Amino acid sequence: MGLFSQNKFKYALMILLGLFVFLWYFSDALTPFIVGSVIAYLLDPLADRLEKLGIKRLFAVILICLLFLSILVFAVVFIFPIVFQQLLELFKGAPQYILAFQEYFLNNFPTLQNKTSIFNQSLSGFSKIIESKGPYLAQALVTSTVGIVNTFTFLLIVPVVTFYLLLDWNLLIEKVIGLVPKKYNSDVKNIAIEIDKTLASFVRGQLFICLILSIYYAVALMSLGIKFALLVGIIAGVFSLIPYVGFIFGGGIAIVLAITQFWDDPIWIMAVGLIFLIGQVVEGNILSPVLIGRNIGLHPVSLLFSLSIFSLLFGFIGLLVAVPIAAIIGVLLRLSINSYKKTDFYNELDLD
């Protein structure tokens, strides 16, 4: 009899509950270790491929870590300052952009010219909020992020954890599986394979898609001369983690900026909309099926729910564990449902 057919699902729930409590009490201290574990998990397939090419694991890990750190340093030194500057300029100039956006609609839709209309009042109120709070929020956001990244503990522990986990990843997996009671060994292996398949398909694939879309949107918007193109491209790419959110949110910002710049030439506004439409079509019909697959078992709504709940409970660390935990719960639920459908209780027919 299988693991779930023997009513062992409650033990899995107890483990998840224990993990939840553990994260609740030690989330701050665990952050660098979880970040290092996530990075090691994402880079492990690359290390395995280099090993297959004949490179020793130690040298493969050193090469991967040096490459990863080089990319990270490049991003911090060259990209982050530009994004930060564009973010501040966007918040400072938001009232002017909103005013230009408002004038465009008033000129093209005369019925909205009533100053007491909901449209005008909403834009005016939003403009005042952005003008008074925007720069402060941007500064606080970046300052808090920099504070996390630049802490001595974070910078010291994450590379060390990543290096050693990546070096001994396969050995650690074997040792963990070796602790499982032998009669449940095959069941646990199947569950682990299913979870890994879901995570590998979604996390690695989706991160790659986000990177591709960020570059595409940024370069395409730059070619049109849209202000804050790099910032908007990164926002649209990052929010593409949730299906359609990056397209709607990033596209909305880009179109508003295009309207304020090219309000007298609608062709350029349409071009911006076309850029995001092409991006969405390519993502949905090419990138996602190839890099992720269509049947990963993570519904967009469940993913969004998981990200919202865990980020609220655990903050930054919640964003890191939300998708893995959602995948684990999804796999356990699917297996338990399949086992339930094989029981006599489910298949018994009422012959009365």
**Three-state DSSP class for residue 146:** helix
Question: How high is the pLDDT of residue 218?
Answer: 93
In a domain, 346, yes or no: no
Calpha distance 54→2 (Å, rounded): 39
Query: Could you tell me if 40 and 164 lie in one domain?
Result: yes
Query: What distance in Å separates the CA atoms of residue 45 and residue 200, rounded to the nearest whole number?
Result: 9
- Residues 157, 22 share a domain: yes
Would you say residue 316 lies in a domain?
A: no
- Same structural domain, 57 and 5: yes
Is the same domain home to 76 and 26?
A: yes
- 272 part of a folded domain: yes
Q: Does residue 212 form part of some domain?
A: yes
Sign of the C-alpha dihedral, residues 311, 313, 316, 322?
Answer: negative
Tokens of 347: 């298949």
How confident is the model at residue 340, as a pLDDT? 76
- Segments in the chain forming alpha helices (H): 9-52, 57-74, 80-108, 118-149, 152-167, 169-178, 185-199, 205-224, 229-239, 245-261, 266-282, 288-291, 300-314, 316-340, 344-347
Same domain, 105 and 88: yes
In the chain (352 residues long), the average pLDDT of successive 10-residue segments reads: 53 72 73 83 88 91 90 82 80 70 64 54 56 55 50 72 90 82 76 78 80 93 90 88 80 86 83 92 82 62 76 70 74 77 72 53
Residues 258 and 284 in one domain: yes
Query: 179, 202, 223: which is the final residue of a domain?
Result: 179
Give CA angle at 72 (257, 55), nearest 5°.
135
- Interhelix angle 185-199/169-178, rounded to 10 degrees, is 140
- The C-alpha torsion from 56 through 61 and 64 to 69, rounded to 10°, is -150
Domain boundary among 162, 179, 196: 179
Are residues 40 and 144 located together in one domain of the fold? yes
Paired tokens of 57: 């694991």
CA distances from 15 to 18, 35, 37, 245, 283 (A): 5, 21, 19, 33, 36
152 and 281 together in one domain: no
Instruction: Work out the number of other CB atoms within 10 angstroms of the CB of residue 20.
Output: 14
On whether both 72 and 104 belong to a single domain, the answer is: yes
Distance CA 296, CA 278 (A): 24
**How many other CB atoms are found less than 10 A from the CB of residue 115?**
9
> Is 126 part of a structural domain of the chain?
yes
Q: Is residue 314 in some structural domain?
A: no
Q: Please check whether residue 54 lies inside any domain of the structure.
A: yes
Dihedral angle of Cα 335, 339, 345, 346, to the nearest 10 degrees: 70
Q: For residue 231, give its domain range.
A: 184-296
Together in a domain, 124 and 267: no
In the listed set 245, 266, 296, which residue is the last one of a domain according to the structure?
296
Q: Is residue 337 part of a domain?
A: no
State whether the Cα torsion 288-291-293-298 is positive or negative.
negative
* Whole-Å CA distances, 61 to 44, 147, 148, 158, 174: 9, 28, 25, 15, 19
Q: Is there a single domain that holds both residue 250 and residue 275?
A: yes
The verdict on 68 and 133 lying in the same domain is: yes
Q: Which pLDDT belongs to residue 1?
A: 45
The structural domain count of the chain equals 2
